[in-house]
Structures are given as C-alpha cells and as structure tokens.
Amino acid sequence: MSFAEQYLNALNSSNLQDDEHHRATEALAAAALADLPGRSSSIFGSMLARAKIDGVPQEAITGGSQNLAMLLRAWKEVVFQKGRARGWICNKIALQSLTHWLGGECTVCNGTKINAGRACTHCTETPGREPVAGNGLLRERILDMISDLEGLYQSHAARAGAKLRKAA
C-alpha cells in the first residue's frame, strides 16, 4: 500500500490506536516527520499532501476555507520568494497555480479525456486537465509553479514513505 493510501486511511480512521492491529498513526507521524524544519518549501508538505489526497474542488480554494487559506498563505511565501528573485506578479501566480494543481480537472470531460465518445478537444494540451489560464510569461510562470508544487508533493510523499518504512 502506498504512502498516499495509508495516509488517506489514517485521515479517515475512526480508531487512532497504535498497537499491532491498528497502525493508522504511523502514516500521520511519517507525514509530520517528513516536513523538514528550516526549509520553507517543505514546511507545508503534509498540508499539501492532505489537500491533494482528499481532493479539493476549485471553488473551495478560491472560497477561502480556513485550512486552504493556510495552505495558500504558505504557498504564497514560496512563490513570493521565487518571484522576488525573478520579478514576478506573485499573487495571481500563487492562486492560479495552487488552484490548478489541486483541482484542475478538465471541465468538459471531467478528467476522463473522452467527450461524447471521442478524445476531448478542450484538454488536448494537458489531457484530462483544464488548460492553464493566461498567456505568455504569466502562463509559463504558472506552469513553473505547478511543476514546483508537484515536485514538493512528490518529495514529501517520498520522505514520508521512507519514514513509514523505517517505522515498520
């Protein structure tokens, strides 16, 4: 069972006992330990993993739920650090990249890549995913930050998975 599956099971568990029969807390502990202190890019790794694994509708991100607002604040810090170094328009890039990464399924085919029995023509550039909004440099920067989010998520999952294997 992958780290993501174990983490999702732990998040949905009604029994967080920690004994030989109940091991849900191991995935939670591994996720917390995988957040490396002193590195702003991984401080919110477990928050990112939870949002990605649970699935978050795009409206919830822009609507300002408390947990997502915390995640967006932490993500904005990362984007602003990179933006200052690169001279970007950070607010828009942070919001659009996080929104797209968390929920960007194609609105026409709902991520199936098929519409009316044929390949979806709306999401041909990114099959199953909504095309990234914007054009030119703004779009490139949003794509860059989406790539960074995926990298942060994958790194966090790898660190948490390693910690989980050590605990077993």
* More confident call, 69 vs 57: 69
Average pLDDT over residues 38-53: 64
Q: What pTM did the predictor assign?
A: 0.61
> What are 71-84's pLDDT values in tens digits?
788 788 888 888 88
DSSP symbols for 69-121? HHHHHHHHHHHHHHHHHHT--HHHHHHHHHHHHHH-B-TTTTTSSEETTEE-S
Domain regions of the chain by residue span: 3-167
